[in-house]
Amino acid sequence: MNIAHIPPSYLPLNVPGLPMLYGPKGSWCAWVTALRLPHTARFRDATARAAMRGYAKSDRIADFGEVVAYFENDDGSGSAPSAAMIEAARWLLVNDAAFFGAVLEAMLADLPSLRAIEGSTVLADDAFRLPECWDEATLLPLVRLNNINLHPVAGAPYIGLDFSCAWEHEHGYGLMMAGTEIVETGGADVGALSWIAARHAEKVA
């Protein structure tokens, strides 16, 4: 982790089994760290798209083979992330390869729906157009994983992913995962909305 890019006002928080977390001192707290995930980090390695301007500063927190991760309790309070988020992060560190495979499979399977959305949109002549088919080698240069969000929802490791992508500059691309299970895909906000995770947890309870 490149701690030089952590805001100087952030305080460290030691959580067993995780790299150091950092969060602002105040009434609302969201903690950030960089998790060592060599498989999932392939979504942000040298073959990926460059970091977008709005994400460039936070992107530098993660070193090669790492992914920026955020922990935020739903009400923004507490002296530490909830147990559900901590356990989700620990699960991810152990199951990185399987998680990467599940996310990649979900993204590859999403091409028909993405093409349907593209087909219903009037595009400029020079706009990017999705390929008719894609595989890992085709997909990876078209995306960049900006960060993951660990969600304070019990029942599964609920992990959201926020991507920049070539086909949707404004809204990006996102997934909500329950471990290796796909919960939902859509715009980048899908990975950040804990109510999506909570709704899924309620259904499977």
The tokens 């707290």 sit on which residue? 29
User: At 178, phi and psi to the nearest 5?
Assistant: -110, 90
CA dist 126 and 108 (Å) reads: 24
| Residue 138 pLDDT greater than 80, yes or no | yes
- List the domain boundaries for the chain: 3-204
In the prediction, which pLDDT does 195 show?
A: 96
What is the per-residue pLDDT for 46?
A: 87
Percent of residues, the chain, with pLDDT higher than 70? 98
The two three-digit tokens of residue 74, written as one number:
């739903």
Q: For 14-64, how does the pLDDT look when each residue is reduced to its tens digit (9 = 90+)?
A: 999 999 999 988 767 889 999 999 999 999 998 899 998 888 889 999 999
50-97 per-position pLDDT tens digit: 998 888 889 999 999 999 999 998 887 788 999 999 999 999 999 999
- From CA 93, how far away is CA 99, in angstroms rounded? 10
